[in-house]
Chains A and B, each alone.
Chain A
């Protein structure tokens, strides 16, 4: 059950639209933004695979200049069925 802190950079004029886009992404919580176009978000997914996919999805959005993880927490991995069964190897 990874949780990560993410900085998403967009053009300042695209800030509103980007926030709307992020709001529509499951697992993304927007926590703040500044007028430079930096958005602070938390990604909360079930598996590392989903985390990777989510980061790719956000990065693929043309509004997003860049999205990067600044913090990653990876606990509860032993409880994760997907990982235990090796699905994500």
Chain B
């Protein structure tokens, strides 16, 4: 490298400064010349939340120092939230797990062991359990933060190798109701539209989502749209007034669990005032009712919603909204040039989660607010790869890769053929879903579990109950993670994993967009990418169980270098062999295409030529979605080719108001709801280790309406005991006009034993989606003292 005159001057400057304090500079001329060029920015996506912001990791002399947004990115237009700005501090953090840790008994201290020994133990434990108690005595519990390649490889080894469908993941706790809703209403999982609709929408219906804090960068886009176009209407429906409400034209504050009434009442107004789209209904829509989905008609539907008058619903909702409010928002919704609904955990984490999803979709189908610019029924995702990895690549117990239901023999056979394993190898029965998996541990049915990149000991509802099972030595527990968590406290074996930017792979965000992040930094210590861990583990499993089929599962990946070639080979197998002709056709989305397409590609994208255009911004529309053309059965412009509806129609469901699992009574008079705050993410194992983020919210609060606080003599900062039938927390009070009267609201990130709110939440779940009702339970609250200084707590 030629040394320029400026480099020479810089060297002179450096040497002068060094001689001043007597520092020995390690560098010579070449290094000095190099230093000028040493600042490098590496492309990737954000590690936190499901928005999928594109960003760049800044490195100087091989050390990460910053993250910045990329201005032309279609997801975030250059903007990042504080979590996206700061997560680089997890790379090389001093508390990172660097060596495998093992203890035979959970009461023993951990000892550092070699990878060789660790993988041997992991394989022995799973092999022994399978031999003694059958394949269903082992389980894999994954995460919406794993790369697609990781989820895919683990489920392949579990299903094709060990012959169990006990593969589930934490998206069960957040997305399962949305999956059920999309399949039930549209016949196909995941949103039809894209973020691009945000800038075209004329009405936003935000329900059960505090977008401003849970998805800040998307909120910014909505905010911009509203500020630039004041005539755009923003409706925010939520039991809690939040930051999101600041841009709302109308906030509908309802009693927790009464939103099904509200949604049916909006449908009632739309039909009553003839605001529905009759042509759309005639061409594309069927009506369904009951558990089995018996046929119904428009007339029956109209009759069904008739009792949900705005007056009746306003009363059910708790008196904070008027009948006229409901009429008004129904009119805005139906008559705008494009209405976009956005929801998140307030709708999904419910006993009636699927129904609530169906009822939102109903409004869009009824009014034809779908498939056109600025109109969509758009579920927000909380994790960066819940969609791409877990929903699409086989990460749930009942779904095989490529949105294939496991109970269908034809679907299983397609997968078995692709893998080159004997037909019938994959069991027909769906495996244990999350809640039954951890119940299974309590009951001694699961003898070995692999928990990858998630912390159920803190994130399961009613976690005290499930931690009892995790604490026993009856279930051998393996955790792969980057930091210690509440769950690694119950582990026998902790395997140190590589973090984002320390390994290569694909994330698929909320809008079906697949983006590649390549390795830019070496993982600390002996931390390894999970794809390597899974492959090496499977190799040993094959030997211990003397099963060539297990070896066959990893044969295509043998000997490949783990930082690029291995994840690429896994991605190629999944996309080329298992997405052909499926609604998430990814055959055009090769690593080569992803390398060229900075913004990634939205599926379906059956060919590379099409993928290089960016993919499908709107599903089911001829001329935009290539599958709408290739799967077309008639002359209509929209083709609903999704796997779940054989009649190729959208379904409006007749779903009644139904109560949550637990409602307040004399003993437990308050509703409890939980949620996220902007500075922290999930169980704060990452964000809690970043000083900027930790200090912004060092501990959780419980929010109390001022009227309730006055009645109970609670002042801001007072310590409150909050108790349900399952557990107790002690939290400081934030007295604030947020939650509706009779409801308290707590943040769920805190790891401190007395502030883990999931000790209090209820573990009842949606009967079809099996997603628990985190959002609603009954509690009593009691002031126990004045304000106390609280310190943050992170498991170390």
Interface residues of A (CB under 8 A from B): 1, 3-7, 20, 23-24, 29-34, 36, 38, 40-42, 44, 70-71, 73, 75
Nearest-CB residue, chain A, relative to B31: A31
**Partner among A5, A23, A29 whose Cβ is within 8 Å of the Cβ of B16:** A5
* In contact, A3 and B9 (Cβ under 8 angstroms): yes
List the interface of chain B (C-beta within 8 A of A): 6, 9-10, 12-18, 20-27, 32, 35-36, 60-61, 63, 65-66
Q: Tell which of A3, A29, A33, A42 touches B23, judged by Cβ atoms closer than 8 Å.
A: A33
**Of the candidates B12, B17, B24, B35, which one forms a contact with A7 in the assembled complex, judged by CB atoms under 8 Å apart?**
B17
Closest to B13 in A: A5
A88 CB to nearest B CB, Å: 21
Candidates B6, B14, B36; contact of A40 at CB < 8 Å: B14
Rounded to whole angstroms, the CA-CA distance of A3 and B9 in the bound complex is 7
Asked if residues A5 and B14 are in contact (CB atoms below 8 Å), the reply is: yes
Cβ A34 vs Cβ B21 within 8 A: yes
Q: Are B21 and A29 in contact (CB under 8 A)?
A: no
The minimal Cβ–Cβ distance linking A78 to chain B, given in whole angstroms, is 16
Checking B9, B18, B36, B65 against A29 with a beta-carbon cut-off of 8 angstroms, the contacting residue is: B36
Decide if the interface of chain A is mainly helix, strand, loop or mixed.
strand
On whether the beta carbons of A71 and B65 are closer than 8 Å, the reply is no
**Complex: how many Å from CA A42 to CA B15?**
10
Q: Which residues of B contact A30 (CB under 8 A)?
A: 61
On whether A70 and B35 interact (CB within 8 A), knowing A20-B65, A31-B25, A40-B21, the answer reads no
Question: Which residue of chain A lies nearest to B32 when distances are taken between CB atoms in the complex?
Answer: A31
Considering only CB atoms, which chain B residue lies closest to A37 in the complex? B21
Closest residue on chain B to residue A76 by CB atoms = B6
Q: Quick one: closest A residue to B38, CB to CB?
A: A29
Complex: how many Å from CA A23 to CA B60? Answer: 7
Task: Write the nearest CB–CB distance from A83 to chain B, whole angstroms.
Answer: 18
Contacts of A36 in B (CB 8 A): 21
A32 and B66 in contact (CB under 8 A), knowing A5-B17, A42-B14, A71-B12?
A: no
Given the complex of chains A and B, what is the CA–CA distance between A42 and B21 in angstroms? 14
Which residue of chain B lies nearest to A19 when distances are taken between CB atoms in the complex? B63
Question: A24–B64 Cα gap in the complex (Å)?
Answer: 10
Identify the 8 closest CB pairs spanning chains A and B, nearest first: A5-B13, A5-B17, A71-B16, A23-B65, A31-B14, A5-B16, A38-B21, A70-B20
Q: Are B66 and A24 in contact (CB under 8 A)?
A: yes
Q: What are 11 residue pairs bridging A and B, where the CB atoms are less than 8 Å apart in the complex?
A: A3-B9, A3-B13, A20-B65, A23-B65, A29-B10, A31-B18, A31-B27, A31-B35, A32-B23, A32-B27, A40-B18
Q: Is there contact, CB below 8 Å, between B12 and A73?
A: yes
Query: CA separation between A6 and B23, bound complex, in Å?
Result: 12
Closest Cβ of chain A: how far from B695's Cβ, in Å?
14
Identify B9's interface contact among A20, A34, A73, CB under 8 A: A73
By the criterion CB–CB under 8 Å, are A24 and B65 in contact? Answer: yes
What CA separation (Å) do A24 and B57 show in the bound complex? 12
**Distance, CA A32 to CA B14, complexed state (A):** 9
| Bound: A71/B25 CA distance, A | 16
The smallest beta-carbon distance between A23 and chain B, in angstroms, is 4
The chain B residue sitting closest to A38, CB to CB, is B21
In whole Å, how far is B580's beta carbon from the nearest beta carbon of chain A? 46
